[in-house]
Structures are given as structure tokens and as C-alpha cells.
Amino acid sequence: MRLIHRSPRAANAARTASPSAELFVASLVICMILSSFGYAVDPIWFGETGLELAVVDLGGEFSVLAMRHWHLLELLLAGGMMAAGIVILGIVAGAVFQPLATADSGAVEKVPIKL
């Protein structure tokens, strides 16, 4: 019997983990898969298609192709950054789109427009 199974919350981690923690782990997994993507893509292909600028950045250390050399600590940081980015994007998108949403026809704040 595993130690973690003594805690009902831990034994059901797939159900009990908080949404923010799940977003972080999902981002971490995406980063891990992206790092294996670095092996699947030959940088020469990008050169042939004239897209070398897309993969060469500050020393080539921040591109997806360079991620294949990343260790767990770097992947954890990248996962955290990605999760934070998604949260910020969600907040910004909410702030932009919420005022654009139409109010209920019967809502109090509905402005009557008379032509």
C-alpha cells in the first residue's frame, strides 16, 4: 500500500487537484512534449523554407527546438510561465470581451434605444 493512499484527497488527486495546479501540470506536460518535438524537427528544414528566423532567437536558447536540451527544472519554470501566461491571457480576454457581450433584454441596465 502506498503512503499517499492514506489520504483520500491524495488518492483522488485526479479529481481533487485545484484548477490552477491542473493548469500548471498541463503546461508542464505540454512543455515536456514540446521538448521531444525538438528531436522530431530538423532545423535544416526551416532553413530550406526560409523560416530560419522563426527558430533562431537569442542564442537559440528559447526556441522550441532548443527545448530538447532542457532539464526538469527548466521545464518546470517554462510550465509555470506558460500557465501564468494563459491565466493573464484569460483575464485580458475576459476584460475585452465582457463589455461586448449583450445584456439580457429584460436586464435593468439595458439601455432602451428608440429610433
Partner 1 sequence: MELELFSGAFFSALLAIILIDLVLAGDNALIIGLVARNLPKESQNKVIFWGTFGAIAIRALMTVLVVYILAVPGFMLVGGLALVWIARKLLTPHDKEEESHLVKAPAASFAAAVRTIVIADAVMGIDNVLAIGGASHGSILLILLGLAISVPIIVWGSQLVIKLVDRYPSVILIGGAVLCWTAYGMIVREPMLVAWFEAHPAAKLVLAGLAFSIALAPWYAERLSEQMKPLTVLLPAILLWMLGFEVASSVWKVQVDYLMATTQGEYLLEGVRWIGWLPFAALFLWIRERMMLRNARVARSTQ
Alpha-carbon distance values, 67 to 52, 74, 111 (Å): 16, 9, 53
Cα 44 to the center of its chain, rounded Å = 28
Cα 67 to the center of its chain, rounded Å = 16
Q: Which of 15, 50, 94, 107 binds partner 1 (CB under 8 A)?
A: 15
Sign of CA dihedral 77, 81, 87, 90: negative
Provide the mask over 65-104, with x wherever binding to partner 1 is found by CB under 8 A and - wherever it is not. Answer: ------xxxxxx----------------------------
Q: Grid coordinates standing for 68?
A: 530538447
Provide the mask over 16-55, with x wherever binding to partner 1 is found by CB under 8 A and - wherever it is not. Answer: xxx--xx-xx--xx--xx--xx-xxxx-------------
Q: Which residues sit at the interface with partner 1, rule CB under 8 A? A: 1-18, 21-22, 24-25, 28-29, 32-33, 36-37, 39-42, 71-76
